[in-house]
Structure 1
C-alpha cells in the first residue's frame, strides 16, 4: 500500500516523534511512504521508514535535488511549487496528517476531494459551512494510524 504522510516542514518535538513512529510503522508493514520530501514531519517520517527497512518517495516542489531530505529513496522533482501538494495527496491510497500548517491543510482538502481516507494525529479540525465535521479519522498513535489506513483501503476495495 502507498501511504502519504503530510505535515509541517517545521515540526516541534512531539510532531517529530509522532512522524518518526508513523514512518517506522509504515516501513515495518511493508508499505511505501510518500511525502513532500523535505524537512520537519516529512524528514522524520522518512527517517522512521528507513529505520524499519521501508521505501520512501519524496515529491519535491522544486527542481533542486539538493532540497530532498537524506532519507528519501526516490526523489521526484516537480518544479511546480505548492501545486505538488495535489500529487502528494493523491499518490497515496490513504493519507496520514500530522500537525501542520496551511500546506498541510491544502493537502488534507485535496485528499478528501479525491476520496482518499485521511487519518489525523494532532492536525487540523475542519467543518464545512453547515457545521458538518470533515471525515478525518482521529487517532492517538502510529499503530492506530496505520491500522486505520489499512482498514479504510480494505473497506474501499470491498465496497
Structure 2
C-alpha cells in the first residue's frame, strides 16, 4: 500500500516467517492440531509459509485465517488457483516438489506436523541448511525439537524465537 510519501509500507517485512510442513492428507486429529497451530501462529503476529495445498497445509491456513493472520502458499504447480481457499498469497512456482526448497529457504523456522516422505525431505533440507525444526507427531530425527502439543511448540517459538 502506498503512503503519503509514495513509499511502500513494509510493515510486514520484519514479521517472523513460520513455515509449517506436513501431511498432504491427514486424519481429523492432525487436522485439529494443525488448525490450532495456525491460530497460534497468527496470534504471534507471524506470517505462515506453507505448501498451500490440502491436508496439514489447508488446516494450518484455516487456523491462521480464523485468527486474522496472513498465509503464503508456495505452490508446486503453475496455477495459483490450485491453492486452498485459506491462502492469502498464492505463489505458483511450476517447480513441482522442488518448491519444497523455496518453503524451507523462505521460513525463519519450521514446524513439522505429521507427514510422509515429502515432509521427511523438507526436514532433511531444513536441518542441512541450519534451520530450526520443531516437530509434532512427525519423524523422529536427530535435530528436531520434538514436542507433543501445539502449546509446547508455541512456547518454544516465543521463548527461543524463530
TM-score (norm 2): 0.87
Q: Distance in 1 between matches of 2:102 and 2:155?
A: 23
Q: Which has the larger radius of gyration?
A: 2
In the TM superposition, residue 146 of structure 1 has moved relative to its aligned partner by: 2.2
Q: How does 1:88-103 map to 2 (within 5 A)?
A: 88-103=103-118
Q: Distance in 1 between matches of 2:74 and 2:80?
A: 11
Task: Pick from 127, 131, 134 the counterpart of residue 116 of structure 1.
Answer: 131
Residue 146 of structure 1 corresponds to which residue in structure 2? 154
Over 3 Å counting, the alpha-carbon distance change for 1:84 and 1:104 in structure 2 is same
Which SS does the other structure have where 2:104 is aligned? helix
Residue 81 of structure 2 corresponds to which residue in structure 1? 66
Q: How many residues align?
A: 147
Cα contact 1:4–1:95 (8 A) shared by 2: yes
In the TM superposition, residue 150 of structure 1 has moved relative to its aligned partner by: 3.7
Q: Distance in 2 between matches of 1:12 and 1:140?
A: 17
* Structure number with higher helix proportion: 1
Residue 102 of structure 2 corresponds to which residue in structure 1? 87
Task: Pick from 20, 27, 31 the counterpart of residue 16 of structure 1.
Answer: 31
In the TM superposition, residue 153 of structure 1 has moved relative to its aligned partner by: 3.5
Q: Distance in 2 between matches of 1:64 and 1:152?
A: 37
Task: Pick from 15, 35, 59 the counterpart of residue 44 of structure 1.
Answer: 59
State the Cα RMSD in Å: 1.1
Q: Distance in 1 between matches of 2:154 and 2:122?
A: 18
Task: Pick from 136, 154, 157 the counterpart of residue 144 of structure 2.
Answer: 136
Alpha-carbon displacement from aligned partner over 1:60-116 (angstroms, at most 9, x marks no partner):
001012210000011000001000111111211110000001110011011111111
Q: Distance in 1 between matches of 2:96 and 2:158?
A: 30
In the TM superposition, residue 34 of structure 1 has moved relative to its aligned partner by: 0.5
**Which consecutive unaligned segments of at least 5 residues does structure 1 have?**
127-133, 155-159
